[in-house]
């Protein structure tokens, strides 16, 4: 709200220009006729343009100039090209710039409304380069921690490093004892859609709940692990198992996940696709070959429909 005073408008305009010049975010203002009315100093620095040279130009002209600073100019124009004046505030895109220096920005747009009418739109450009760099550093740190710890921090099951140690040990035992073993790989169906619709924290919750159900279903001496810290897949080592035992464990796990009531807003059912294979002596396959073959079996399981199970002998 602003006070009703005929002398207020010049002051308000001057104050807004001061905000433009002082703000750490870049600000660009277009009127309802599609003309650029203001470009803040920070926006000029981010895109490497002289603000005064572009005030008064059309929105399309200004955006074309800004696009020249982007890694993907066409994608930039497609994402920010819409000019629906009454659209609510929204983040349009995260954009990578190549000049005047490489950086990542987030473009957010807001309607300028007065007395119920749209007078234009304000674009807010925020430099998130440091944030993204910090996120990358954190992911790299987590990867290093994951490399030296045997447990996946999200699900509490062994990680792939620990699994490979147990797999190599079992492969050696089976070779000496002339015994079989099996490997299952389990992929959660539709996790990409869940993460997109509900967000990564909800997706992480689904992973934790699936892990809890799988722990109950495995045999006491089986090894359940998270296949990768960034993946929606689990892998299970079944020592001494043949095809019949592996099929039974796989179907028990698939059923347990299907029956579980996941805490999702739309109460949807979660299913898993499970592929597996059995190592039977004599065989020239090594442990990694078995893991890869189990992965191929997941594809066959998924082809049979959601919640499919396919175990090869």
Q: What are phi and psi of 5, to 5 degrees?
A: -155, 130
pLDDT of 2 strictly over 50: no
pLDDT of 83 strictly over 80: no
Beta-strand runs (E) in the chain: 26-31, 36-39, 90-97, 103-114, 117-127, 181-188, 223-226, 233-239, 272-279, 309-312
pLDDT band for position 132 (cuts 50, 70, 90): confident
CA atoms within 13 A on the CB side of 231: 12
- Contacts of 142-147 with C-beta under 8 Å, sequence gap 24+, read 142/229, 143/229, 146/229
Rounded average pLDDT over 178-201: 90
Q: Which residues pair with 8 in a beta bridge?
A: none
% of the chain at pLDDT higher than 70: 88
pLDDT band for position 3 (cuts 50, 70, 90): very low
Per-residue pLDDT at 20: 58
Per-residue pLDDT at 23: 61
pLDDT band for position 4 (cuts 50, 70, 90): very low
Dihedral sign from CA coordinates of 147, 152, 157, 160? negative
- Predicted confidence (pLDDT) per residue in 9-50, tens digit: 665 666 666 665 666 688 888 888 888 888 888 888 889 999
181 cis-preceded (ω within 30 degrees of 0) = no
Q: Which domains does the chain have, with CATH numbers?
A: 8-129 (3.30.450.20), 149-312 (3.30.70.270)
Of the candidates 266, 156, 140, which has an alpha carbon nearest to the alpha carbon of residue 202?
266
% of the chain at pLDDT higher than 90: 35
- Residue 139 CA, chain-centre distance (Å), reads 13
Rounded average pLDDT over 201-227: 92
């Amino acid at each position: 709200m602003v006070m009703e005073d005929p002398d207020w408008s010049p002051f308000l305009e001057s104050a807004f220009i001061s905000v433009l010049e002082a703000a750490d975010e870049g600000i660009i203002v277009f009127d309802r006729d599609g003309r650029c009315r203001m470009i803040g100093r920070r926006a000029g620095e981010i895109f490497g343009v002289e603000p005064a040279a572009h005030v008064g130009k059309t929105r399309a002209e200004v955006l074309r100039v800004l696009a020249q600073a982007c890694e993907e100019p066409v994608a930039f124009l497609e994402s920010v090209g819409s000019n629906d004046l009454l659209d609510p505030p929204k983040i349009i895109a995260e954009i990578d710039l190549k000049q005047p220096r490489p950086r990542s920005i987030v473009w957010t747009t807001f309607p300028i409304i007065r007395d119920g009418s749209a007078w234009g739109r304000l674009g807010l450009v925020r430099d998130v380069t440091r944030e993204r760099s910090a996120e990358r550093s954190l992911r790299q740190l987590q990867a290093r921690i994951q490399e030296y710890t045997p447990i996946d921090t999200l699900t509490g099951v062994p990680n792939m490093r620990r699994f490979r140690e147990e797999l190599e040990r079992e492969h050696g035992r089976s070779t000496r004892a002339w015994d079989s073993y099996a490997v299952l790989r389990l992929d959660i169906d539709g996790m990409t859609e869940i993460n997109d619709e509900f967000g990564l924290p909800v997706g992480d919750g689904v992973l934790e709940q699936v892990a809890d159900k799988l722990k109950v279903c495995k045999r006491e001496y089986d090894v359940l692990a998270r296949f990768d810290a960034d993946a929606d897949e689990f892998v299970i080592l079944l020592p001494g198992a043949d095809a019949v035992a592996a099929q039974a464990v796989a179907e028990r796990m698939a059923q347990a996940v299907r029956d579980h009531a996941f805490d999702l807003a739309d109460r949807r059912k979660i299913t898993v696709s499970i592929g597996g294979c059995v190592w039977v002596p004599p065989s020239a396959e090594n442990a990694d070959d078995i893991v890869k073959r189990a992965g191929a079996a997941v594809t066959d399981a998924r082809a049979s429909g959601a919640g499919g199970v396919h175990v090869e002998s």
